[in-house]
Structure 1
Amino acid sequence: MPLTRAQPAPGPEAMETVAPAVDLVLGASACCLACVFTNPLEVVKTRLQLQGELQARGTYPRHYRGFVASVVAVARADGLCGLQKGLAAGLLYQGLMNGVRFYCYSLACQAGLAQQPGGTVVAGAVAGALGAFVGSPAYLVKTQLQAQTVAAMAVGHQHPHQNVLDALGTIWRQRGLVGLWQGVGGAVPRVMVGSAAQLATFASAKAWVQEQQWLPEDSWLVALAGGMISSVAVVTVMTPFDVVSTRLYNQPVDGAGRGRLYGGLADCLVKIWRQEGPLALYKGLGPTYLRLGPHTILSMLFWDELRKLAGRAQHQGS
């Protein structure tokens, strides 16, 4: 089985190698593990991003005000378990999307693309686009389940799904296979820019931290520091696309499968800008960072450490 460099960034640890198929499993596992910790933040972020969607600018009640108050509001409305709404769909999404993403990125590293100028950005973007497409149905269901709440606290359109399988079956029966990819036009750009920023900045940040020699070269703290730096870049570029993606996934559709609120990515961007103001594109920025930031840090840390273990096991086996 062909092998690929465990890290595109230069350094002694880049000698660790894992097969692309192993990267698929490790990447999916790392991100699923991170999802368990960050899913409550995703619930809060989804509610904040949907708030104000169905009302005229400046006239809607604010059920969710800031991160802490929003956590309390969700817990009061849906119970403590409500903070883990959509977890099964979230794990399915993380496994599918990141399995494909890390596998494709690993193949790109094997082909030498990551060693070319701008190669990590291109490889991360392409891998992210493919992963987003494959995982789109799971993200659709996750968003719709996380938006569900009691009528008094509802924001955005409410979909009456019972669980993941019920949601997938309902969408399939009502709109067919194409309906499962509702909102994919917003998801692909979102994950493309996020994946490019994450993988490129993580590799560069990790190499920079190693060059400074602040930490032991093989320490997990190096990957932790690299993930922390990467998280800022990821959230900065992803948040506007994340708001649009949430709106596109959660909107109601007509009999032909067309969105009733937005015609696509560009239409959603323009309507949010005009109706709610440009800052609305950064709705839920705090929870978005508190969700994407730790998720980026944890997933990249877990991925890096798992790759080290896998690479060392391969060397010992050979």
Structure 2
Amino acid sequence: MTTSKNNAQWEEYLLGGLGAVCAGIFTNPLEVIKTRIQLQGEMKARGQYTIHYRNVFHAFYAVAKAEGLVSLQKGLVPALWYQFLMNGCRFGAYQVFDNHGFTRNKNGDVIFYKSIICGVTSGACGAYLGSPIYLVKTHLQSKSDAHIAVGHQHKHSSMSSGFKAIYGQYGVRGLWRGSVASMTRVSVGGSIQLTSFATITSFARKHKFIDPDRWYGTLFCSFLGSCLVVSMMTPFDVVSTRLYNQPVDSKTGRGMVYKGIFDCAVKIYQTEQIFGFYKGFWASFLRLGPHTMLSIFFWQLLRSKFYKIKNNTG
């Protein structure tokens, strides 16, 4: 019995990770654009820096023209590994909590604060686990042609070379630089995403205005949840990108621009004002919205197909 439960738990982690990977293939170009726009004008007031990317669509054009269409998939390998590890843990752990009844009352309705706690816990664990991969992913996605370069330019040519360079110079600790910011970012976004999806799904199932177990119902519920995610997550996302991409002192291994989350937030506000926290908002919206929907859609689809096959063959 214990073995069966353990297998079921690992299945949830695997299915959650695969669902996120499927979504990541489609949304990685928007992640590249988002990263570039978030780094544009770093630590400078509006009007005091060259605007290489006027908006999301112009950014796509500028990157494709200068670096080729393939560059829109920069960092794809670490991006997919990050999705698999982070969201596998986040979705899987949350589903395990839900399966054990930690997020619902005896009537099956979602208990909001318990769902938030489970979402934050699962998100923080996933973000910490995947932080080294996210670090290298950010470096690769920000690396660009000189005349449209923004932010600090790292010299990695691949995920493996990035790991080797960071580990060789800063050790294991260097691989987890910026992990606190990532944990905060994912915890905020993840708790809202999973809680809103669970709440909306439960409401839809109870009032029967749409079937959340059908693909269109899952897509609709995840879309509503994604709107909340983008609004709350973007400022944390900007801070996280800045911390991951900043240059590092070769002797101390510390960031040369920001000391941490709070210091980064203060400096962004002092130099770029409130708008600085929402740089790349539309890229985030266009990326996070579809990614949130597709992640949950593929996750639920895979779970449905997997357990249908498993139950029929068991």
Let me know the Cα RMSD of the aligned residues: 1.6
Partner of 1:283: 279
Instruction: Choose which of 153, 156, 178 in structure 2 pairs with 1:158.
Output: 153
- Mind listing any 5+ residue stretches in structure 2 that lack a counterpart? 106-110
- Is the alpha carbon distance of 1:3 and 1:230 closer, same or farther for their aligned partners in structure 2, counting shifts above 3 Å? farther
Does 48-57 or 249-258 show the bigger shift?
Answer: 48-57
Instruction: Choose which of 15, 28, 37 in structure 1 pairs with 2:17.
Output: 28
Using the TM superposition, give the Cα deviation of residue 55 of structure 1 relative to its aligned residue in structure 2, in angstroms: 3.8
Does 127-136 or 197-206 show the bigger shift?
Answer: 197-206
Using the TM superposition, give the Cα deviation of residue 57 of structure 1 relative to its aligned residue in structure 2, in angstroms: 4.8
Amino acid at match of 1:263: K
Does 260-269 or 102-111 show the bigger shift?
Answer: 102-111
Paired residues of 2:12 and 2:93 also in contact (CA < 8 A): no
Amino acid at match of 2:191: A
Paired residues of 1:206 and 1:225 also in contact (CA < 8 A): no
Partner of 1:97: 86
Paired residues of 2:151 and 2:246 also in contact (CA < 8 A): yes
Task: Give the alignment of 1:244-263 within 5 angstroms.
Answer: 244-254=239-249, 255-263=251-259
Using the TM superposition, give the Cα deviation of residue 80 of structure 1 relative to its aligned residue in structure 2, in angstroms: 0.1
Paired residues of 1:209 and 1:225 also in contact (CA < 8 A): no
Instruction: Choose which of 197, 216, 222 in structure 2 pairs with 1:221.
Output: 216
- Mind listing any 5+ residue stretches in structure 1 that lack a counterpart? 5-17
Partner of 1:187: 182
SS at structure 2 position matched to 1:165: helix
Paired residues of 1:148 and 1:159 also in contact (CA < 8 A): yes
Using the TM superposition, give the Cα deviation of residue 54 of structure 1 relative to its aligned residue in structure 2, in angstroms: 4.9
Using the TM superposition, give the Cα deviation of residue 109 of structure 1 relative to its aligned residue in structure 2, in angstroms: 2.0
- The superposition leaves residues 267-297 of structure 1 with CA deviations (integer Å, 9 ceiling, x where unpaired) of 0001001100111101100010111110000
Paired residues of 2:15 and 2:92 also in contact (CA < 8 A): no
Paired residues of 2:226 and 2:293 also in contact (CA < 8 A): yes
Paired residues of 1:171 and 1:179 also in contact (CA < 8 A): yes
* TM-score relative to the length of structure 1: 0.92
Instruction: Choose which of 301, 304, 313 in structure 2 pairs with 1:305.
Output: 301
The 4+ residue runs of structure 1 with deviation greater than 6 A are none
Using the TM superposition, give the Cα deviation of residue 56 of structure 1 relative to its aligned residue in structure 2, in angstroms: 4.9
Paired residues of 2:185 and 2:233 also in contact (CA < 8 A): yes
- Is the alpha carbon distance of 1:52 and 1:100 closer, same or farther for their aligned partners in structure 2, counting shifts above 3 Å? same
Q: State percent identity of aligned pairs.
A: 45
